[in-house]
Amino acid sequence: MKVVNHLYLIVAILFEVVATTALKQSDGFTRLVPSLVTVIGYAVAFFFLSLTLRIMSVGIVYALWSGAGIVLITAIGWLWFRQALDAPALLGVALIIAGVLIINLFSRSVMH
């Protein structure tokens, strides 16, 4: 069951990243297709997040979901949208990655 919950969490993260990327492209919800991708993506993300929360602790799930999402969106912003990252931004992202890894590798608080 633990593997299935982690797969649900991964799906939730990926859809949240797609939705957030489309949100940037929606231009304030003035473009139809990116706006639809945003709404549908967030709906799917929250559905899978809710499945994950049936077994896993809400605080840990949210930390993993938001942390991984932040890192992935930052990478997309840098690679796709050519957004600059200075040293403090890179340090912050590295600390988020470290936090996600520490939770995944060492925390016993994942399951409630």
Which domain, by its residues, includes 96? 2-106
Percent of the chain whose pLDDT exceeds 70: 96
What pLDDT is attached to residue 103? 87
Domain count, the chain: 1
Residue 16 lies in a domain: yes
Residue 53 lies in a domain: yes
Tokens 């409630």, residue? 112
Residue 94 lies in a domain: yes
| pLDDT surpassing 70 at residue 18 | yes
Cα separation, 32 vs 42, whole angstroms: 15
Residue 21 lies in a domain: yes
Residue 70 lies in a domain: yes
In this prediction, residues 36-51 reach a mean pLDDT of: 98
In this prediction, residues 9-26 reach a mean pLDDT of: 97
At residue 104 the predicted structure's pLDDT band, cuts being 50, 70 and 90, is confident
What pLDDT is attached to residue 111? 66
